Amino acid sequence: MLDCLRCKGTKIRVTEAFEYEDRKYPRTEHVCSYCNGVGQYGEVDVAATVSAIVATKGKNKGRIRASMTSPTSKDGIEAARAYYVWRMARFHGGIDVTMPMAASMVIGGDPYRVKLDSLADAVAKRAFGTDMAAALTWSQALGF
């Protein structure tokens, strides 16, 4: 178990008191929305994560899903991890080459991001044959 990167394991997020345009805002404390107030993240369950992103019926059965709904904080950490791996694999595989900003926000406090990135790269290589398609597309777009 590793501490949440946002709340540092305290389970709460604090907004310090401040003033803006002659109005005073008090200090507030809220349950950390990244870890859902748990404070820590467990190890990545690779098998469960991969299983969550593979289609179980339809024309894509046995392959990476064609679409996936972005999870909310109520869906839990595992749903966020699955979405992140799915979205990053499709990005690196060249299927969805727009920047995956929402995926990064969904796992904002997860200390296992490096492991999730490695898993996404492996999924992209297996499902799409490459994990460098987005890099090629964006390097050309940026003139490199």
Report d(CA 16, CA 8) in Å as an integer.
16
| pLDDT value for 97 | 79
**DSSP secondary structure code for residue 96 in this structure:** S
25 in the same domain as 48: no
31 in the same domain as 47: no
18 in the same domain as 63: no
21 in the same domain as 2: yes
| pLDDT value for 27 | 96
From the first residue on, what is the mean pLDDT of each consecutive set of 10 residues in the chain (144 residues)? 93 94 95 89 94 89 88 85 94 87 88 95 91 82 76
47 in the same domain as 4: no
Cβ neighbours of 130 (radius 10 Å): 15
| Tokens 């046995």 -> residue | 62
Interhelix angle 77-93/133-141, rounded to 10 degrees, is: 60
CB of 7 within 8 A of CB of 34?
yes
124 in the same domain as 60: yes
113 in the same domain as 89: yes
CA dihedral 77, 83, 85, 86 (to 10 degrees): 160
Question: Any residues with CB less than 8 A from the CB of 25 and at least 6 apart, and which?
Answer: 15, 17, 18, 19
| pLDDT value for 87 | 95
85 in the same domain as 46: yes
